[in-house]
Structure 1
Amino acid sequence: MPKSKIIQAIVDDDVDLVRSLTRLQVLAHDLRNKELEKWAENELVGYSSEDDVPEYRHAKSINFTYSGINNMVHQVENAPLDPGFLGEDVLNQIADVRFTQSLIAFEALLERSDSSILLDRSIFASVVDKNSNGGIQCFSIGQVIPKSFVQDALAEIKNRLLKSLLLLEEEFGCLDELGIDVAGHSPSRIEHINYEINSGILHIQVDPPAQKEEPIGSKIAWNVVVPIITTLVGGLIGAAIQPFLGLLMS
């Protein structure tokens, strides 16, 4: 069983993800784990356009609805729209959706009364009009994202958060203090722990910790000491058996 109350609270849903990620951000800073600290920060405040957005925040959808005029006569509301009317160039732009908003805004998508999340794509109404030869005139276009996508993404955030905390607890003990005391842990061990989290849990491509070579002074000392020891041991053995050799020769 986990020893840390923060872990138990997360498992029992007694603490929200925002507070839990803030806690992880502090621990990551103590470990000098910039990747983990940045991940927690990005989830809290959102990702910039330059950031690599994790795969669980990518949704793929070519499911569209529209409200407007069909066949130049019939008015429709939230009717299915054939994605072919948007054209290949537009679909390449919008089929892969990056959800970059903060965690609070991301969670708020589930609070809407709609059965699905609709992203406004009305800007492409003229493209549909052109590709349908005027047969479909859109007042609004929505790209449909199932709410289960957000639920799955939030579950993955919680999973990575928990795995990181469990690994840290295994190494450093209870995590309920303000931070982690890394005293008594070698820098190489800290590097190894950070690598396990970044590579194995966050799935970030990072280089493994470099193998620490033995200091050159130690190598030189060992190369000097070993021959001396060998010579001394050989001399002692020779002196010890010399009387026996003399008896054999006599």
Structure 2
Amino acid sequence: MSSLFSEIQTDILNPKSNITDILRKCLVLAYKINNDVFIKWAELELGGYGNSDVLPDYRIQSTMIKGDFTDGHGRTFQGMIIDKHFVPDFLKDIFCSGKMDYPASYLESLLHYSGDTDPRKDMPMSVLCEFKNLYSGLFCMKAYEILPRTGCYSIIDSIKNKILKFLLEIEKKIENIEDIKLSKEDEKAITQTFTNHIYGNANIANASENFNQNIQLQSDELINNLLSELLQLKEQGKDVDTIDTVIPQIEEMKQIKDQKGIMDKLASVMTIAGGSASVCSLVAQYIPAISKLIG
């Protein structure tokens, strides 16, 4: 009888396999090897992430807010961009953060049933009045967040790739892993290998790090939000050259692990932005939040 390790690997390599079955087998395997970190991750991927759960960086994607408008005389204008600044604060974490916290099965279903269009998540009707002055003479009939198909694909692929790399690495380190009683050293090695492949940080379990797992992910989330808003600004044709220059600088912030380095990079970005009031203003809004997070 084939092992769970080989079954999961075969399923990952089979394009017809669904992500739910793969994750369920992972959950069984996680219990068999008695690894709490693996168990928790598989449960979150199956059931979705809550507000108190740390969201892995591969589940933060660039999203966009759009709306359907009317002039009140029978003409409609669909898919018009709504700047995220106009979204009420109490909804920004839900609709503007790019957090794809849904169960993996839901993301996979969006790809199957949304056709060739990008999936979307409708905003409450009660907030449409917030967009009444966004376009002169137009009234918002519906607003929604666009969840890009590429983002859904990216998350599903990331889950599969991370599981596959983790299993291959563990099999290489510990022979007959399913048939032996693991030592404390083996369990520690599995936990470290798992966090390396799933969360992408070899030192993620080291609590003495200045940037622990939660802070690193929150910092990356803020940076991803800033990048998303800059891209939206660029799509409106504003300060295109400046935005193309600062985006690589902002991307580099994800690799910086100390407060001074982060703040120096932000100052550098502000300097590069120069006379671009819109870019400087957008970046400046993120400085307090990033500074508070890493301070």
User: Are the aligned partners of 2:57 and 2:199 in contact in 1 as well (CA < 8 Å)?
Assistant: no
* Cα deviation, residue 190, structure 1: 2.3
Structure 2 counterparts to residues 117-128 of structure 1, below 5 A: 117-121=119-123, 122-128=125-131
Distance 2:120 2:16 in 1: 31
Matched position secondary structure for 1:6: helix
Indicate whether 1:24 and 2:23 are aligned: no
Counterpart position of 2:179: 181
Indicate whether 1:198 and 2:195 are aligned: yes
Counterpart position of 2:104: 103
Which deviations, in whole Å up to 9, do the C-alpha atoms of 1:195-228 show, x marking residues without a partner?
12113433373138xxxxxxxxxxxxxxxxxxxx
User: Are the aligned partners of 2:49 and 2:102 in contact in 1 as well (CA < 8 Å)?
Assistant: yes
User: Are the aligned partners of 1:85 and 1:127 in contact in 2 as well (CA < 8 Å)?
Assistant: no
Uncovered stretches (5+) of structure 2, i.e. residues with no partner: 208-295
* Cα deviation, residue 160, structure 1: 0.9
Counterpart position of 2:146: 144
* Cα deviation, residue 193, structure 1: 2.5
Which deviations, in whole Å up to 9, do the C-alpha atoms of 1:125-154 show, x marking residues without a partner?
10011x348722111112222211101110
Counterpart position of 2:70: 69
Distance 1:145 1:5 in 2: 31
User: Aligned AA for 1:18?
Assistant: T
User: Are the aligned partners of 2:66 and 2:82 in contact in 1 as well (CA < 8 Å)?
Assistant: yes
Distance 1:146 1:53 in 2: 18
Counterpart position of 1:83: 83
Change (3 A) 1:15 1:200: closer
Counterpart position of 1:216: none
Percent sequence identity over aligned pairs: 22
User: Are the aligned partners of 1:85 and 1:128 in contact in 2 as well (CA < 8 Å)?
Assistant: no
* Cα deviation, residue 173, structure 1: 4.1
* Cα deviation, residue 87, structure 1: 5.6
Matched position secondary structure for 2:179: coil
* Cα deviation, residue 38, structure 1: 0.7
Distance 1:139 1:51 in 2: 34
User: Are the aligned partners of 1:42 and 1:102 in contact in 2 as well (CA < 8 Å)?
Assistant: yes
Q: Which has the higher helix share?
A: 2
User: Are the aligned partners of 2:45 and 2:104 in contact in 1 as well (CA < 8 Å)?
Assistant: yes
The RMSD of aligned alpha carbons is 3.0
Which deviations, in whole Å up to 9, do the C-alpha atoms of 1:93-114 show, x marking residues without a partner?
4321322222221211112135
User: Are the aligned partners of 1:119 and 1:142 in contact in 2 as well (CA < 8 Å)?
Assistant: yes
Change (3 A) 1:116 1:13: closer
Q: Which of the pair has the greater relative contact order for Cα pairs under 8 Å at 6+ separation?
A: 1
* Cα deviation, residue 82, structure 1: 4.1
User: Aligned AA for 1:160?
Assistant: K
Q: Which has the higher strand share?
A: 1
* Cα deviation, residue 84, structure 1: 6.8
Distance 2:84 2:172 in 1: 53
Distance 2:185 2:176 in 1: 22
TM-score, structure 1 length as denominator? 0.67
Matched position secondary structure for 1:206: coil
User: Are the aligned partners of 2:8 and 2:26 in contact in 1 as well (CA < 8 Å)?
Assistant: no
Uncovered stretches (5+) of structure 1, i.e. residues with no partner: 209-250
Matched position secondary structure for 2:75: strand
